[in-house]
Amino acid sequence: MLQGRNIALVEDDEIMGASLTDRLELEGARVTWFKTFGRALGGLRTPLRPFDVVLCDIRLGDGSGEDLFLRLCDHGTPPPFLFMTGQATADQAVRLLRSGAADYLTKPFDMAALLARLGQIISPVSAVGSALVFGPSQAARALETQMVQIALSDGPVLILGETGTGKKAAARHIHGLSDRRAAPFVAVDLSRTDAAGQENLLFGADGALQRVQDGVLVIERIGDAATQVQARLVQTIWDSQTRGARIMVTDTDEPRLRAVLRPDLFYHLNMLVLTIPPLRQRPEDIGWMLARLFDGMNARRAESLKGISLPAEDLALRHDWPGNGRELRGRLARAMAIATGDMILPAELFPEKISEGEGEFSTLAEAREQAERFQIERALARTGGGVSEAAKLLQVSRTTLWEKMQKLGLSG
C-alpha cells in the first residue's frame, strides 16, 4: 500500500521507532528515522527528497514535536504531519489540528489504525514512481501497465468504459507516453451529430483527419458511427497501419459494438483493448480521486478549505457513482462552490440525499412541534411580545404557553 512512499519518522524511543520502521518498510515505504528534535529539524528543512508524510512523536528528548511542526511552518509548507503521543490531551490535539496537522493518534494504537490513517493522509500525487492516473487500486495499476504497453505499440486502440470513467483521459495519457506525444491530439464525438455531420467532422476539408497529421485521433462513441462512416473508417485504419495518425476509439461496452459495427471494423479495433472498470468496482480509488481533485481545486481557490469531513468521505466511499469520475469531479466542484464552513460536509457533496427527495419523513411529533412553534411566534408577534395576551389568543393558560416557549427555545 505504501509502495515507494517516503516517510519521515520522528521518535526518540528505540523500541517504538524500530518497530514502526520495520512495519512501514514491510508495507513498501522508505522510512527515514530521526531520533532527536535537532536532527529532525535539519532533515525536514532540507530533505534529500520530499517526504509524503511525517510521523511524529510529540515528546522528544530535546524538544517537542509540536515545536518542530511550528518551526517548519515558519519556513514553508511542511509535509502532512501525523502526531502520535502517549500523553494525549484534547487541548493539544485541537491546537495541532487547527494549526494544520493532518492527524493525531494516542498511544498505544493499533498498527492497522495507523496504516488506515496514513492511507487517508498520504499525498495523492506522489513525487516518485509512476504518476498515478486512475488510482492506487489493483485494477487501476493494471490499467497503468496496460497503457504503457499500448503506448509502446502502434495499432488502433479500443477503449471501453462506462460514462465518465475517463476514456478520453486514458487516450491522452497513452498519447503522452508514446513517441507521438509531440504530435497533435484530436478528439471527435460521433454522438453529437448525424451521418453527414460525422463524415464532415472526420473527413471534411477542415476535419479531424486533416488536423491530426501523424498524431492521435480519438473517436468517441464509435458505436454511433453511421454506415458510410464505418466504411471510410475501415479504409482509414488500413492506411494508418503504414503511415499517418493513430486511431483510438471509445465506447461504453463491447456487446454493443459487436452488434452495431461492421464485423471487419470491429475486428480491426479489437486488437488493443483497454477496459476501464467503473468506479464502483474499485472503491479504493474513490478516496484517492477525491483527495487529488480536492487538492487541485483547493489550490485554485481564493480561501482554501481544510478538507473533506469524515462523514462526507464515508458517504462518498459508499456511493455508487453511476457517473464515475465525471460525477465525482462535478460533485466535488459544486460542493466546494457552495461550502460554507472550512470543511466539506455530507450535505454539500450529496445535497439531493438530504433535501426531501424520498428519504426523511417528519414524524407527527415534529410536525406538531413545528406548527406550535409557528403559531406561538405569530401570536407573540401580534401581541408585540405580550405573553399573557398571547396565551389568551392561543387559548391556553399562561403557564402552558410559558412551558412551551421554554421547550421550543423561544424565551431568549
Which spans of this chain sit near DNA (rule: CB under 7 A)? 385-389, 395-400, 402-404, 406, 411
Stretch that binds a second copy, among 124-132, 166-174, 199-207, 233-241 (CB under 8 A): 124-132
Helix (H) or strand (E) holding 160: strand 157-161
Q: Closest distance between DNA and the C-beta of residue 9, in Å? A: 15
Q: Is 154 helix (H, G, I), strand (E, B) or coil?
A: coil
Residue 88 interacting with a second copy (CB under 8 A)? yes
Q: Which one of residues 11, 68, 104, 216 is an interface residue with a second copy (CB under 8 A)? A: 104
Evaluate whether 51 touches 6 at the Cβ level (below 8 Å): yes
* Torsion angles phi and psi, residue 274, rounded to 5: -120, 115
Q: Closest distance between a second copy and the C-beta of residue 232, in Å? A: 26
Q: Closest distance between a second copy and the C-beta of residue 192, in Å? A: 12
Distance from chain centroid for Cα 74: 29
Q: Scan residues 190-249 and list those touching a second copy (CB under 8 A).
A: none
- Whole-angstrom Cα distance, residue 147 to residue 153? 10
Q: Closest distance between DNA and the C-beta of residue 36, in Å? A: 11
Helix and strand counts by DSSP (H, E) for the chain: 20, 14
Residue 80 interacting with a second copy (CB under 8 A)? yes
Q: Scan residues 291-320 and list those touching a second copy (CB under 8 A).
A: 303, 307, 309-312, 314-315, 317-320
Work out what residue 351 binds among a second copy, DNA, none; the CB cut-off runs from 5 to 8 Å by kind.
Answer: a second copy
Cβ proximity to a second copy: between 267 and 374 the closer is 374
Binding string, 376-395, against a second copy, x = CB under 8 A? Answer: xxxxxxx-x--------xxx
Cβ proximity to DNA: between 17 and 78 the closer is 17
- Whole-angstrom Cα distance, residue 72 to residue 54? 12
Q: Which one of residues 78, 161, 223, 325 is an interface residue with a second copy (CB under 8 A)? A: 78
Cβ proximity to a second copy: between 230 and 270 the closer is 270
Stretch that binds a second copy, among 42-50, 157-165, 216-224, 290-298 (CB under 8 A): 42-50
Instruction: Give DSSP secondary structure letters for 210-257.
Output: HHHTTSEEEEE-GGG--HHHHHHHHHHHHHHTTSSPEEEEEES-HHHH
Residue 370 interacting with a second copy (CB under 8 A)? yes
- Whole-angstrom Cα distance, residue 205 to residue 105? 64
Cell digits of residue 407: 421547550
Cβ proximity to DNA: between 106 and 388 the closer is 388
Q: Closest distance between DNA and the C-beta of residue 69, in Å? A: 24
Distance from chain centroid for Cα 18: 33
Beta-strand (E) ranges in 223-366?
246-251, 272-276, 307-308, 343-344
Cell digits of residue 113: 489504525
